[in-house]
């Protein structure tokens, strides 16, 4: 049984069962500083891949960022043969639940997306888990698609570490992208289509609200 179903059951049960699944995010949201290194604008369209726990919330946040053209939930880190939700949920495939973000770098820089990611999307100090979700498929990871993305991401992680933005060490890794595999149709736009789903209400809606509050200049409805 997936952690999302268990979470919904715990909410319905109430009491200690629900309390055991909190907090949503141990560290955050955190006001991460603007990146000192910014990527040179490569054109009018760029793609980036982020893994930050359940892809519902990651997709939900990035879909509200100005300059983002599309955000697609999927799987990254394993092979095509294991890129199915139930298989990925075993935590044995190498896949992470991830989101492919296509954006206009003239409107939002990759460095800006990194800042949003580390501020409101994921707790980068947790290892192989996010909030109530546990397993390697819920790890935080960046999958750079170019040398400039890789250097920008490394520089930003170093900047955050040097500034001691978090109380614990950053666990987020840069991983080699071996293919992005879109998730099943029912996972796409899940937050927008199911705003009152218990998991969304308790885990993901606060992230979107934090984006709107902390980055009003980047917000789009």
Closest to 73 measured CA to CA, from 183, 208, 186, 205: 183
Beta strands in the chain (DSSP E): 46-52, 68-76, 96-103, 129-130, 133-134, 140-142, 173-174, 180-182
Q: What are the chain's domains? A: 3-218 (3.30.1060.10)
Question: Token pair of 50, please?
Answer: 């982020």
pTM: 0.89
Question: Residues with catalytic annotation?
Answer: 54
* Tens of each residue's pLDDT in the chain, 221 residues: 455 554 444 444 444 444 444 445 555 699 999 999 999 987 899 999 999 999 999 999 999 999 999 999 999 999 999 999 999 999 999 999 999 999 999 999 999 999 999 999 999 999 999 999 999 999 999 999 999 999 999 999 999 999 999 999 999 999 998 899 999 999 999 999 999 999 999 999 999 999 999 999 999 99
Contact between 98 and 49 under an 8 Å Cβ cutoff? The reply is yes
Closest to 52 measured CA to CA, from 22, 96, 90, 115: 96
> β-strands 46-52, 96-103: how paired?
antiparallel
């Amino acid at each position: 049984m997936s952690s999302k179903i268990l979470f919904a059951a715990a909410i319905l049960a109430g009491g200690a069962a629900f309390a055991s699944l909190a907090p949503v995010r141990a560290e955050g949201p955190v006001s991460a500083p603007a990146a000192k290194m910014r990527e040179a604008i490569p054109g009018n369209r760029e793609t980036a891949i982020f893994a930050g726990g359940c892809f519902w919330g990651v997709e939900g946040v990035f879909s509200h960022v100005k300059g983002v053209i599309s955000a697609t939930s999927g799987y990254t880190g394993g092979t095509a043969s294991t890129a199915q939700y139930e298989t990925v949920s075993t935590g044995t495939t190498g896949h992470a639940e991830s989101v492919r973000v296509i954006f206009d770098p003239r409107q939002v820089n990759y460095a800006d997306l990194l800042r949003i990611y580390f501020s409101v999307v994921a707790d980068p100090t947790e290892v192989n888990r996010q909030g109530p979700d546990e397993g390697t498929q819920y790890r935080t990871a960046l999958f750079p698609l170019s040398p400039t993305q890789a250097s920008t991401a490394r520089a930003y992680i170093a900047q955050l570490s040097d500034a001691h933005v978090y109380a614990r060490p950053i666990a987020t890794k840069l991983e080699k992208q071996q293919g992005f595999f879109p998730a099943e149709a029912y996972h796409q736009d899940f937050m927008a289509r199911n705003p009152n789903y218990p998991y969304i209400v308790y885990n993901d809606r606060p992230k979107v609200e934090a984006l709107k509050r902390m980055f009003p200049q980047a917000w789009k409805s």
